[in-house]
Amino acid sequence: MLIPLFLFQKRALASPMFYLSEYLESHHETYYARLRGISRENDWTGWVEFFLTAITAQARTNTARVRGILDLYAEMKLRISDLIRSQHSLKVLDALFDRPVFQAGEFMRAGVPKPTASRFLTALRNAGILQVLRPARGSQSAVMAFRELLNRAEGREVL
């Protein structure tokens, strides 16, 4: 977490949301070897090369994910508008991108009248845009997920 905070402080990032964990975990053997190289052989050059490679690779990965999410937003803007044909289409879209996992009751507080929101949720579920993670039980509303957004954000199938 120190890396994104440092980059944020140096104004290299607009907000401290750039994490190297994914790269470091997938290259953990090299990561530890480079750290050992510092303590055993004072090999700072090897460490800096590895670290800069990590930053570059993770930046490319993050950029591709952001582009994928922006493409999904544009695609869903048209799809949801065609599907629900309402003045509330943009509110629905923004609510899904704001909280891709939510309770149906939370969605209904997104500024859409309750009966209309319920109809929209049904339409989105029937169209395969939303997936029910936990059905409604008693007074608890259903938990739903916008699977495609979660998968693009993670860069892999999570649901």
Round the average pLDDT of the chain to a whole number and report it.
89
Tell me, what's the pLDDT at 97? Answer: 93
**Beta strands, E only, the chain:** 101-103, 131-134, 143-145
CA 33 to chain centroid, in Å, comes to: 31
d(CA 49, CA 130): 43
**What is the tens place of the pLDDT at every residue in 135-146?**
989 988 899 999
d(CA 66, CA 73): 10
Residues 6 or more apart whose CB falls under 8 angstroms from that of 135 comprise: 142
The one-letter amino acid code at 18 reads F
- Would you tell me the crossing angle of helices 28-41 and 44-84 to the nearest 10 degrees? 150
**What is the tens place of the pLDDT at every residue in 25-84?**
999 999 999 999 999 999 999 999 999 999 999 989 988 999 999 999 999 999 999 999
DSSP 113: -
Candidates 132, 135, 121, 129; CA nearest to 151 is 129
Candidates 103, 99, 109, 106; CA nearest to 137 is 103
Q: Which residue ranges form the domains of the chain, and what is each CATH number?
A: 2-64 (no CATH), 86-154 (1.10.10.10)
Q: How confident is the model at residue 4 (pLDDT cuts 50, 70, 90)?
A: low
The one-letter amino acid code at 147 reads R
pLDDT, mean of residues 105-127: 86
d(CA 77, CA 83): 10
Candidates 96, 130, 91; CA nearest to 111 is 91
